[in-house]
């Protein structure tokens, strides 16, 4: 199921959504390079990338298609923004990873990188969601599970993220106190981003999505 494309605003919408993806990729990179823990999905993707021997950005793209396939099989609606999410965030991650060095043994700087990442994630998510071009693959899966099982979005989100971070941790992914800090702070950050850009959720369900946004729009 594909949401219609509004061609009269497509160029502007595409530009805005790419700005969101640039910031999203930067936020993920800052968490990875900060070495004190990342978002749940980044924990898994970093671990798998290291195991397979590919770049983290490439793994992000592959994971996006894998998750989207599951959501589509569950008949979840997607939009051009869903595909743009999958194809764009990974390459932006690899670009930022090639620029930003890894930081260790400098806790104040590492905490600063984490907080900046969470701040940027809020802005990026607000920009991306504001375009209303379709949910990201991970949120699509969450919505599909909610719709097919009847459980709440928060419960679906929790099940997915606990499963993902557990598998990533077992595989050697970068779990740390930053992982917990991200989980606690990203919701308020996104809400703040919504206020800055005056983004209005188009459906009531999206208000709950914001509280557990992927990491975005990941």
**44 part of a folded domain:** yes
Select, from the ranges 15-24, 126-135, 188-197, 202-211, the one with the highest average predicted confidence (pLDDT): 15-24
**183 part of a folded domain:** yes
pLDDT band at 206; cut points 50, 70, 90: very low
Structural domains of the chain, count: 1
**6 part of a folded domain:** no
**1 part of a folded domain:** no
Average pLDDT over residues 192-217: 59
Between CA 42 and CA 186 the distance in angstroms is: 14
Structural domain that includes position 88: 11-211
Tokens representing 63 are 């994971």
**102 part of a folded domain:** yes
Residue whose C-alpha is closest to residue 32's, from 15, 44, 17, 16: 44
Between CA 51 and CA 48 the distance in angstroms is: 5
Residue 215 has pLDDT above 50, yes or no: no
More confident residue, 65 or 191: 65
Residue whose C-alpha is closest to residue 61's, from 48, 51, 79: 48
* pLDDT at site 212: 46
> Model confidence over 121-156: pLDDT tens digits?
989 988 888 888 887 888 888 888 888 888 887 788
Quickly tell me which residue has 């823990």 as its tokens. 37
Between CA 33 and CA 106 the distance in angstroms is: 12
**5 part of a folded domain:** no
**216 part of a folded domain:** no
Does the reported pTM lie above 0.75? yes
Residue 199 has pLDDT above 70, yes or no: yes
**217 part of a folded domain:** no
């Amino acid at each position: 199921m594909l949401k219609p494309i509004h061609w009269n605003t497509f160029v502007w919408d595409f530009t805005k959504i790419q700005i969101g993806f640039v910031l999203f990729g930067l936020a993920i990179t800052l968490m990875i390079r900060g070495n004190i823990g990342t978002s749940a999905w980044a924990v898994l993707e970093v671990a798998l990338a290291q195991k397979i021997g590919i770049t983290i950005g490439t793994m992000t793209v592959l994971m996006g298609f894998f998750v989207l396939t599951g959501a589509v099989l569950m008949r979840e609606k997607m939009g051009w923004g869903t595909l743009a999410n999958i194809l764009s965030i990974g390459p932006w991650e690899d670009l930022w990873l090639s620029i930003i060095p890894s930081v260790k043994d400098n806790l104040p700087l590492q905490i600063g990188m984490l907080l900046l990442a969470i701040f940027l994630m809020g802005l990026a998510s607000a920009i991306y969601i504001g375009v209303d071009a379709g949910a990201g693959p991970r949120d699509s899966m969450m919505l599909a599970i909610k719709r097919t099982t009847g459980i709440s979005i928060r419960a679906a989100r929790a099940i997915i993220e606990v499963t993902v971070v557990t598998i990533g941790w077992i595989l050697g992914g970068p779990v740390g106190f930053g992982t917990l800090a991200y989980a606690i702070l990203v919701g308020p950050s996104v809400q703040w981003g919504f206020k800055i850009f005056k983004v209005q959720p188009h459906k009531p369900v999206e208000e709950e999505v914001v509280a557990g946004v992927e990491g975005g729009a990941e």
